[in-house]
Amino acid sequence: MLDVRGLAVARGGVPVLEGVSFRLSAGAALVLRGPNGIGKTTLLRTIAGLQPALAGEVEAEAETLAYASHRDGIKATLTVAENLAFWAEVYGRTVPDDVWEAFDLHDLRDRMGGTLSAGQTRRLGLARLGVIGRRVLLLDEPTVSLDAASVRRFAGWLAERHLGAGGVAVIATHIDLGLDAPELDLTPYRADPHTATGGSDEAFL
């Protein structure tokens, strides 16, 4: 369902990782590990097609990938329900009933997006994943700002509703989500920076 072969990625014209390969079939997840700055975000963005690879290939069915960054993309002047309805419409779907419970948003349905706390904002951002119906999720530190109960709830949704339904996920996380998933330490894939091709990557700033 997701096949990554010999991928080399760069940020700001500087190669950060090279030779990354893995393959995930339906229902599988992979946890990316490595120290700050190793290139987890860059790798996820490259797999998502948001920036070009230096080398290698990413194979996935068309229109199956979704990248979720630290940014939640919440519309401040729409309510929580309207935010979810907005994303559902963009993806040609309806909001499934189970997202309210899965992301603990029942009591916040009518609150304006701009009035949510950091953790509530994150829950709404993650709930979008339950709405858009993408089968390959590329998750960049999905649990930032979440309390312990919310982390468990999200991990439960991921395992049961997403992976359990045949989806796949690649997750960069510094915390243990309790998933039954292999880990890929990116440290051995650090690229030689001397093959740098340019300066700062404006599109990334």
Ligand X SMILES: Nc1ncnc2c1ncn2[C@@H]1O[C@H](COP(=O)(O)OP(=O)(O)OP(=O)(O)O)[C@@H](O)[C@H]1O
128 forms part of the interface with ligand X (CB under 6 A): no
Tell me the Cα Rg of the chain.
17
Exactly one of 18, 20, 41, 113 binds ligand X (CB under 6 A); that residue is: 41
Q: Considering only 30-38, 53-61, 74-82, 90-98, which stretch makes contact with ligand X by CB under 6 A? A: 30-38
39 forms part of the interface with ligand X (CB under 6 A): yes
75 to 104: interface string for ligand X, x by CB under 6 A = ------------------------------
Exactly one of 16, 66, 131, 137 binds ligand X (CB under 6 A); that residue is: 16
Residues 48, 96: Cα–Cα separation, whole Å:
24
Report in angstroms how near the CB of residue 37 gets to ligand X at its nearest: 3
Tokens of 89: 């419409």
Collapsing DSSP to helix, strand or coil, 8 comes out as strand
40 forms part of the interface with ligand X (CB under 6 A): yes
Residues 122, 132: Cα–Cα separation, whole Å:
16
Nearer to ligand X, 102 or 177 (CB): 177
Nearer to ligand X, 34 or 125 (CB): 34
Total residues in contact with ligand X, by rule CB under 6 A: 16
In the block, residue with structure tokens 């080398």: 55
**E strand or H helix that includes residue 150:** helix 148-156
- Rule CB under 6 A: which of 145-204 touch ligand X? 200-201, 204
Residues 7, 58: Cα–Cα separation, whole Å:
8
User: Cβ atoms within 10 A of the Cβ of 188, count?
Assistant: 10
**E strand or H helix that includes residue 24:** strand 14-24
Q: What residue ranges bind ligand X (CB under 6 A)?
A: 11-12, 14, 16, 34, 36-42, 200-201, 204-205
